[in-house]
A and B are shown apart, each in its own frame.
Chain A
Amino acid sequence: MFTAKRGRLAAVAAVAVGAVVALAGCASGDPLDSGNSADEASATLVIGSQDYYSNEIIAEIYAQALESNGFTVDRQFKIGQREVYLPEIESGTIDVFPEYTGSLLQVLKENAAGGTADETYAQLQDELPEGLSVLDMASATDQNSWTVTQAFADKYSLTDIASLADVTEPITVGGPSELQTRPYGPTTLTEKYGIPIAGFTPIEDGGGPLTIKALVDNDIQITNVYTASPNIKSDSLVALDDPDGLFFADNVVPLVSDKVDEKAADVLNAVSAALTAEDLVSLNSESVNDELSAEKIAAAWLEQANLF
């Protein structure tokens, strides 16, 4: 009996120690480190994209444009959020990535000044790490915004963010967890504009259907929706004006490595020159509402834009 009990105790202890060792093991390494593979055939350009459908469409446009100009490309799409892929680009595993000027700047320099589209672009060029550069930016933007329903905006005659201070009912902010701590988050609304915020409701689908439904159902009153979202039109939402530049301008821009030569840069710059804000909304709409693949949407846009 005694030995059986001790045996069991030993087994429990062994499992416990094993668990701690295993946890410590996975905790001490960098969870996002995936090794290096920088020195591959230099002829192939690796194109990455975020795990965001709109970003993937732009990446696919880059890929097809480069392909029709004789480049070999390797598509590494849907990598995830900026936190995940930025180290990959810096280590040289990815050569071309569709980015957004303001959001990228804020990651590279936490207390960046921001400003207009051109100011943001200029600051971004200064902050880029060695070996990386941005090509010309497009006029297309896809930026964060404080968004309300048309009905809510009409009720309180809302036009810009500051006018939210006139709202007399409690305002609940909804959105993904990170929104709560972002520089343009609920705290700033209260401190800068005196807007009373009743609470924060987490909805973790990143401005997806659950967030839109919560807004339309009036479960939440404001949320962060990307300005190129087709939902703004299809669900009658209003992105409030941001005259003070609370959100940075987020123009679409290709982030590239040294491996992108002048010829490839010309191709990408031609794409950026043609990509307008309206184009981006309709590209997104084709994905969300018509459920077309990124490949088809990109091919159709390149043809219609008369590129390559």
Chain B
Amino acid sequence: MNLFQDALNWILDPANYAGPGGIPVRLVEHLVFTVAAVLMACAIAIPVGFLIGHTGRGRSLAVATSGGLRAIPTLGLLTLVALWVGIGLGAPSVALTVLAIPPILAGAYAGFEAIDRSVIDSARSVGMSESQIVRTVEIPLGMPLLIAGIRSATLQVIATATLAAYVADIGLGRFLFAGLKTRDYAEMLGGSLLVILLALTLEGIFTVMQRLVVPRGVASGRTPVDRARSARPVPGMDPAITKGTH
């Protein structure tokens, strides 16, 4: 018996495409749920990351916190939250959001930090306000690293979103659990392959997106980015400018 062949047959079997428990419905559920969790994580992590990146404050706290969040086992967190709020979508949403926050947070502040300080200094010296600097300089220049963070978060969430089926009738995880429990390993492997397929598709989309978000000026120049902070603070400058230097 070749399970791999069986799994492919399972994916191709038209019988598995009908009804509320069919492959298309589960794929869409899985995708929507993943996107929702990543968006929730973005809503929390991006503002905080921008604030840390712009001010240079609280970085060590953010590193420690997101490191801690990364260490939380998702199934454990899911069970704990489910014992509190009950079964349904609540617990997996919380667990997956917690999973997605660290990479997005890191991408958001690392994007700001990677900008050559002289660029920000020049923006300030031509009279830009702080909010102008953030909007027109730091966010566009930091965008590639932020997208990279979201990309890595999405990949983690899409694989882990199978756990949502632990307490709710949703997503591709249903095939994994049902296959495992009823010894239908073709269904289980088939479900896993669909998750992989979905992950690879999103990876492709993100690769294109990461290219597109590089600002045109940066893309045409393509000079090697000097990651070093401005070496010498210029004497007499406002202290706020040198805040980013370490």
Binding site for B on A (CB under 8 A): 23-24, 27-28, 31, 83, 174, 176-178, 180-181, 199-205, 209-210, 213-214, 217, 219-220
User: Chain B residues with Cβ under 8 A from A200's Cβ?
Assistant: 169
Binding site for A on B (CB under 8 A): 1-5, 7, 79, 82-83, 86-88, 165-169, 174, 177-178, 180-183, 185, 189
A204 close to B167 (CB less than 8 A): yes
B86 close to A219 (CB less than 8 A): yes
User: Chain A residues with Cβ under 8 A from B180's Cβ?
Assistant: 177
A214 close to B3 (CB less than 8 A): no
A177 close to B4 (CB less than 8 A): no
User: Chain A residues with Cβ under 8 A from B189's Cβ?
Assistant: 27
Distance between A157 CB and nearest chain B CB, rounded to angstroms? 27
User: Chain A residues with Cβ under 8 A from B165's Cβ?
Assistant: 202, 204
B86 close to A214 (CB less than 8 A): yes
User: Chain A residues with Cβ under 8 A from B168's Cβ?
Assistant: 201-202
User: Chain B residues with Cβ under 8 A from A31's Cβ?
Assistant: 3, 185
Interchain CA distance A122-B111 in the complex, whole Å: 72
Distance between A209 CB and nearest chain B CB, rounded to angstroms? 6
B87 close to A174 (CB less than 8 A): yes
Q: A28 contacts which of B4, B87, B177, B182 (Cβ < 8 Å)? A: B4
Contacts A27-B7, A177-B177, A213-B83 given: A219-B169 contact, CB under 8 Å? Answer: no
Distance between A196 CB and nearest chain B CB, rounded to angstroms? 17
Distance between A44 CB and nearest chain B CB, rounded to angstroms? 30
Interchain CA distance A214-B167 in the complex, whole Å: 10
A178 close to B3 (CB less than 8 A): no
B79 close to A205 (CB less than 8 A): yes
A210 close to B2 (CB less than 8 A): no
Q: Which of A201, A202, A220 has the most CB of B within 10 A?
A: A202
Interchain CA distance A28-B167 in the complex, whole Å: 31
B182 close to A217 (CB less than 8 A): no
Contacts A31-B185, A181-B182, A202-B167 given: A209-B83 contact, CB under 8 Å? Answer: yes
Interchain CA distance A217-B167 in the complex, whole Å: 14
Residue of B whose beta carbon sits closest to that of A215: B87
Residue of A whose beta carbon sits closest to that of B86: A217
Interchain CA distance A83-B181 in the complex, whole Å: 9
Interchain CA distance A122-B182 in the complex, whole Å: 26
A202 close to B169 (CB less than 8 A): yes
A213 close to B86 (CB less than 8 A): yes
User: Chain A residues with Cβ under 8 A from B174's Cβ?
Assistant: 177, 202
Interchain CA distance A39-B190 in the complex, whole Å: 38
Residue of A whose beta carbon sits closest to that of B192: A23
Q: Which of A174, A204, A219, A220 has the most CB of B within 10 A?
A: A204
Distance between B29 CB and nearest chain A CB, rounded to angstroms? 13
User: Chain A residues with Cβ under 8 A from B177's Cβ?
Assistant: 176-177, 202, 204
A210 close to B181 (CB less than 8 A): no
Distance between A132 CB and nearest chain B CB, rounded to angstroms? 20
A201 close to B87 (CB less than 8 A): yes
Interchain CA distance A263-B2 in the complex, whole Å: 45
User: Chain B residues with Cβ under 8 A from A202's Cβ?
Assistant: 165-169, 174, 177-178
Residue of A whose beta carbon sits closest to that of B5: A27
User: Chain B residues with Cβ under 8 A from A217's Cβ?
Assistant: 86
Interchain CA distance A180-B175 in the complex, whole Å: 13
A177 close to B185 (CB less than 8 A): no
Given contacts A201-B169, A202-B166, 18 further A-B contacts (CB under 8 A): A23-B4, A24-B4, A27-B3, A31-B185, A176-B177, A177-B177, A178-B181, A178-B182, A181-B182, A201-B87, A204-B165, A205-B79, A210-B82, A210-B83, A213-B82, A213-B87, A214-B87, A217-B86
Chosen A-B contacts, 15 in total, with CB atoms closer than 8 Å, are A27-B189, A28-B1, A176-B177, A181-B178, A199-B169, A202-B165, A202-B177, A202-B178, A204-B165, A204-B167, A204-B177, A210-B87, A213-B83, A213-B86, A213-B87
Residue of A whose beta carbon sits closest to that of B166: A204
A203 close to B87 (CB less than 8 A): yes
Residue of A whose beta carbon sits closest to that of B183: A83
Q: Which of B2, B7, B169 has the most CB of A within 10 A?
A: B169
Distance between B167 CB and nearest chain A CB, rounded to angstroms? 6
B178 close to A177 (CB less than 8 A): yes
Interchain CA distance A180-B182 in the complex, whole Å: 10
Residue of B whose beta carbon sits closest to that of A177: B178
7 cross-chain pairs, A with B, having the tightest CB-CB distances, nearest first: A27-B4, A27-B3, A178-B181, A177-B178, A214-B87, A177-B181, A177-B177
User: Chain A residues with Cβ under 8 A from B7's Cβ?
Assistant: 27
Distance between B211 CB and nearest chain A CB, rounded to angstroms? 15
Q: Which of B83, B86, B87, B185 has the most CB of A within 10 A?
A: B87
